Amino acid sequence: MMLPPTTIMVAAAAAVAAAAERVFYVVLVDESQRDHARAAACTWLRVVAPPAKTILVTERNRSTFLASFRACSFRPAPHLAVKSLLDYTHVVRRFATALKPADDDWVVIAHAHTLVRPGKLAAMLKDRQIGDYAGLVRNASDGPQYLGYFPHVAPEHGLVLRGVAARKLTTEARRDDFDFRAAEFGAARLAAELRAFGITPTDSDCFRAVSGDDDDDDDDDWMQRGVTLGPLDPREMLAFGARVWGSALRPPPSYPKSSSSPTLAIAVLVRESEAVEAVAAIERGWGSAVRRENGRNSVEFFVSADVVVAADKEDVVRLALPPRPDASSRFYWSKKSFAKGDEWNEWLRRKVAAVARRFYDDDDHDETSSRDFVMIVDDDTEVVPGRLFEVLAEYDPRRAVAFGRKFGHVEKGALVGGGPGIVISRAALRRMAAVDCPDALPIISKTVPGGDGWLGQCFDMAGVRVADDWRFKSFPRHAYPPDQRSRFATFHRNSHKNPVFFVDPTTTCRHVVSHWILRRPTCAPRFAIIGAPKCGTTSLHYVLGQHPDVALPSRKELNFWGSPWSSSSATPTTLRSFLFRYLGAFPYGRVTGESSPDYFVSGDAPKNMLRFVPKIQLVISLRDPVDRAASAYHNKLDDKSLHRYLNVDDPRLDTDLPSYTPPSFSDLALDVNDTLETCPDYARHRTMREPGQPGCFVNPFVLHSYYAKYLRPWFDAFQPHHFLVLDYADLANAPNATFARLAHFLGLSPFPYDTALRYNTRHNRGVHPASRRRNKKPRAGGIVTATYRDPPGPWTIDHRTATILHRYFRSPNRQLHALLATTGHAKPSWLRSSSSQ
Ligand SMILES: Nc1ncnc2c1ncn2[C@@H]1O[C@H](COP(=O)(O)OS(=O)(=O)O)[C@@H](OP(=O)(O)O)[C@H]1O
């Protein structure tokens, strides 16, 4: 039965909403896969859930979509068209806005090629406590301290979400700059957005990745039998991805598959420059344990012919390949393979092809002597032998399957990443032998153009199913919480993944970010001293750094999260591209943090930090506003950069500097007075760098002492307990007590700091050498020096200037007082003196 195309989607959607059973199926249909996608979607409607319960989501418009359903003679389900199927957050948002699910409703999100057994799923949703967001959790765990990828659920294996969670996503658009080229970014983004509402995924073993099947199954027959049939065996699947779109739904494979003690041959692709060390390390590590496992396993090391390594070692296989290209280039370590050029990828593909060929040439087609599985790993793959063999025992070597950490959200071109290792069953190897894929296969994946890409294509040509197994991990062991590590079969020591979107810094440095570019683990900052400028932040930074448990970046002001004065200030693009560099600035293993006083006055820093380092502890120092303004003024006067803070990017002034007569502090105060007369509304006061109406300009030296204005976005973003608000006067007069407070706030043990060392005072401040030279562009920031001189007293300011400024700060001080009171912070000394109030 098919409704006319004029059927209005909204009406159908309303029918869904009114359905008695409140489980919605949101099915993602990749129409670029045309017939297969349609077949899958039609099958969904016929077998899994009728249109009244299903919302189909495509990237095409409605008319194309409706037309496609004529073909399957089925009434079209409600339809949502989205820009990208992989933007799961948007999909959920659209769904929740259109259908307004009730709190207790369930939303099941799956790709059309995901097998779902609705009866079993409904039973599970009813009976089991699975939280508000569940599925097969990838790359992570529920560990709250996990740092790396957010724990996230891959919709291709099915994902369930409570109505209440789906609706939350409609309340606020948090993150808009994701890159959807990789499916897991979309899935991780959804996780990140939900996480902002305190919703973390539950890992349920009922959502499984497909693990292998042969191609002889009669899908139609199975579909006739219905997906709700069968006992709910814990090893059966509620949902899993099928291999090809054309045969969208497949029966769950039956377990156990292989013998209890599968046999395995491992090929290690060894980087020539490190071959000797790598071979030795693997032998010492997992190599011999793999060989021992059942006495029939082998581990061989494959190097290219131009390298002489361990000549006496019979397990080292020299491949007859042309010399490795650009081995001396600085890109040698870069894993951006596609950037290295065709020659390089060509070579990598030939290498893997040669290894695969060697495997199948060795195959004597005797089931008793042939290995059940072969595996190709990198020399930085860490294999956990015991666990690996348990995993292998779940697969049937007689079925043509390759598995590991799968890439690619659709089955077309699906491949397994080489880092965590690629396992190929005996049957798969034989199919590959029959096809004997040529070395020159076109590169179909830009992200994986090398050897693993070639294998993926060869799997496709040979009809080898590519399966995702969650126990193959693309991060190093330390990136996973200790209690999770024992579950995994492999790790990749030098992860290729960019953790940019998934950083979840914790308050302790024991949790690390690992990035392939860094080639070492690093630590997300636990704290940031965010200003205010000229309030002793340099002394706070360096004196704190004396603590043995504290390790600081080599530079004080990273200004990564945003500074109105910095050209390298964060934009969505720079944030995304450079977060790893920022993280790379932090030493590993101790409490770390940074100090960038410009964050205080940056409009962007609070939201950027909340987004990427939400657990960070923020240290703020506040000083008498007039004194701070004078300090800031004299600092820029010394730097010969005053004009930059008073004129909007006037390039002439840099070159005409000798003729530039800077205004005095008193002149500036008079200007402020004028502004106050003509523009009494403080909300309109701005420095030249802040957006807003013209006419209410207040120079930044003065305006940046309007603390309430700049503090408000911070307190809006972070909870009060994130902040330690210090009084500059305490730093000057009671430094030991001040540093003790700071240490306590950061969870550091007491330490006898040398607090008499004072940095960046007006007596010892370094002026950038360029600023001293005539006609040279002035540069901010000099060499940081410290002295034991007494702290400088307040600036001498003439009476008229002081009166103007005290008058100016009356209202800002009152606002600050109120803000600190509502956030539970003590008021600084100058607020206690009545003159300021
Ligand atoms: N220990 C200690 N006690 C009291 N005062 C101190 C201390 N250390 C630095 N200072 C004074 O703080 C001013 C410099 O602050 P910052 O380091 O935050 O400046 S900056 O924003 O990083 O440029 C600068 O103020 P002025 O001298 O008034 O300009 C320093 O003298």
CATH number for the domain spanning 111: value is 3.90.550
Are 340 and 454 contained in the same domain? yes
pLDDT digits (tens, 9 = 90+) for 319-362: 888 777 755 443 433 344 444 566 777 888 899 999 999 998 88
Among 535, 537, 538, name the best residue to mutate to test ligand 1's pocket (greatest count of ligand atoms within 8 A of Cβ). 538
What's the one-letter identity of residue 622?
A: L
Return the half-sphere exposure (C-beta side, CA atoms, 13 A cut-off) of residue 594.
24
Are 543 and 447 contained in the same domain? no
Quick one: which atom of ligand 1 is closest to the CA of 762? 27
What's the one-letter identity of residue 25?
A: Y
Answer yes or no: is 611 a known binding residue: no
- The answer to whether residue 259 is domain-embedded is no
Closest C-alpha residue for ligand 1 atom 4: 732
Are 111 and 137 contained in the same domain? yes
pLDDT at site 614: 76
Q: Is 403 left (phi over 0), alpha (psi -120 to 50) or beta?
A: beta
Percent of the chain at pLDDT above 70? 65
pLDDT digits (tens, 9 = 90+) for 673-705: 999 999 999 999 988 877 666 668 899 999 999
In this structure, what CATH number is given to the domain that contains residue 791?
3.40.50.300
Are 613 and 641 contained in the same domain? yes
Range from 20-24, 533-537, 815-819 carrying the lowest mean pLDDT: 20-24
Rounded to whole angstroms, the Cα distance separating 55 from 38 reads 14
pLDDT digits (tens, 9 = 90+) for 241-274: 322 222 223 333 443 445 578 999 999 998 877 7
Are 474 and 531 contained in the same domain? no
pLDDT at site 515: 41
Rounded to whole angstroms, the Cα distance separating 497 from 495 reads 5
- The answer to whether residue 471 is domain-embedded is yes
- The answer to whether residue 420 is domain-embedded is yes
- The answer to whether residue 58 is domain-embedded is yes
Closest C-alpha residue for ligand 1 atom 6: 536
539 lines ligand 1 (CB under 6 A): yes
Q: Which of 439, 467, 492 is the last residue of a domain?
A: 492
> What integer is the mean pLDDT of 104-115?
80
Are 691 and 580 contained in the same domain? yes
pLDDT at site 730: 97
3-class DSSP state of 576: helix
pLDDT grade, residue 382 (50/70/90)?
very high
Are 472 and 609 contained in the same domain? no
Are 476 and 620 contained in the same domain? no
Q: How far apart are the first and last CA of the chain?
A: 78
Among 534, 765, 783, name the best residue to mutate to test ligand 1's pocket (greatest count of ligand atoms within 8 A of Cβ). 534
pLDDT digits (tens, 9 = 90+) for 729-788: 999 999 999 999 999 999 899 999 999 999 999 988 876 555 555 555 555 555 678 888
Long-range contacts of 254-259 (CB under 8 A, 24+ apart): 255/394, 256/393, 256/394, 257/212, 257/393, 257/394, 257/395, 257/396, 257/397, 257/399, 258/372, 258/392, 258/393, 258/394, 258/395, 258/396, 258/397, 259/372, 259/393
Q: In what order do the strands lie in the sheet with 373-378?
A: 316-319, 298-304, 264-269, 373-378, 422-425, 401-404, 465-468
Q: Cα 728 to the chain's mean position, in Å?
A: 37
Pairing of strands 54-58, 79-81: parallel
- The answer to whether residue 500 is domain-embedded is no
pLDDT digits (tens, 9 = 90+) for 398-421: 888 898 887 654 344 567 888 899
The residue ranking higher by pLDDT, 508 or 452, is 452
Q: Which of 210, 241, 272 is the last residue of a domain?
A: 241
The residue ranking higher by pLDDT, 178 or 457, is 457
> What integer is the mean pLDDT of 192-209?
73
Phi and psi angles of residue 607, each rounded to the nearest 5 degrees, phi first:
-70, -35
Per the structure block, which two tokens stand in for 547? 């603590």
What's the one-letter identity of residue 136?
A: L
Rounded to whole angstroms, the Cα distance separating 95 from 772 reads 62
DSSP string, 330-390: GGGG---HHHH-HHHHHHHHHHHHHHHHHHHHH--S-TTTS-SEEEEEETTEEE-HHHHHH
Are 443 and 533 contained in the same domain? no
Q: With contact defined as beta carbons under 8 Å apart, do 585 and 515 qualify?
A: no
**340, 497, 534, 640: which one is catalytic?**
534
Q: With contact defined as beta carbons under 8 Å apart, do 262 and 373 qualify?
A: yes
Angstrom CA distances, 19 to 14, 44, 99, 560, 673, stand at 9, 18, 11, 50, 67
Range of the domain at 208: 9-241
Are 445 and 401 contained in the same domain? yes
Are 385 and 312 contained in the same domain? yes
The domain tally of the chain equals 3
Alpha carbon of 755 to ligand 1 centroid (Å)? 13
Answer yes or no: is 398 a known binding residue: no
738 lines ligand 1 (CB under 6 A): no
Rounded to whole angstroms, the Cα distance separating 720 from 205 reads 39
Q: Running DSSP on this structure, what letter comes out for residue 720?
A: G
pLDDT at 149 over 80: no
In this structure, what CATH number is given to the domain that contains residue 389?
3.90.550.50
pLDDT digits (tens, 9 = 90+) for 42-93: 666 766 666 667 888 887 666 666 666 665 666 667 788 887 777 788 899 9
- The answer to whether residue 672 is domain-embedded is yes
The residue ranking higher by pLDDT, 240 or 347, is 347
- The answer to whether residue 246 is domain-embedded is no
Closest C-alpha residue for ligand 1 atom 20: 534
Are 337 and 232 contained in the same domain? no
Alpha carbon of 539 to ligand 1 centroid (Å)? 7
- The answer to whether residue 254 is domain-embedded is no
Rounded to whole angstroms, the Cα distance separating 528 from 596 reads 7
3-class DSSP state of 771: helix
Catalytic: 534? yes
Alpha carbon of 793 to ligand 1 centroid (Å)? 11
Alpha carbon of 610 to ligand 1 centroid (Å)? 27
Tell me the average pLDDT of the chain.
Answer: 75
